[in-house]
Amino acid sequence: MQRTYCELFPGEGFDHLAYTVEQYFSGDTPLWWVRSHADANLRIPDPVACLWMGSAVDQVRGDRHAHIFLLYVSPEHRRRGIGTALMRQAEDWARLRGDRQMGLHVFCQNQPAQRLYESLGFVPQSIWMVKLLDR
Q: Each residue of 43-78: pLDDT tens digit?
A: 667 889 999 999 988 887 888 899 999 999 999 999
CB 86 within 8 A of CB 49: yes
The pLDDT of residue 11 is 80
Mean pLDDT of the chain: 86
> What are the backbone dihedrals phi and psi of residue 53, each rounded to the nearest 5 degrees, phi first?
-105, 160
The pLDDT of residue 44 is 65
Average pLDDT over residues 11-38: 79
Q: Can you tell me the distance from the alpha carbon of 34 to that of 50, in angstroms, rounded to the nearest whole number?
A: 6
The pLDDT of residue 125 is 86
The pLDDT of residue 83 is 95
Question: For residue 18, is pLDDT > 90?
Answer: no
Q: State the fold for domain 2-119.
A: Aminopeptidase (3.40.630)
The verdict on pTM exceeding 0.85 is no
- For residue 34, what are the β-bridge partners? 49
Q: How confident is the model at residue 39 (pLDDT cuts 50, 70, 90)?
A: low
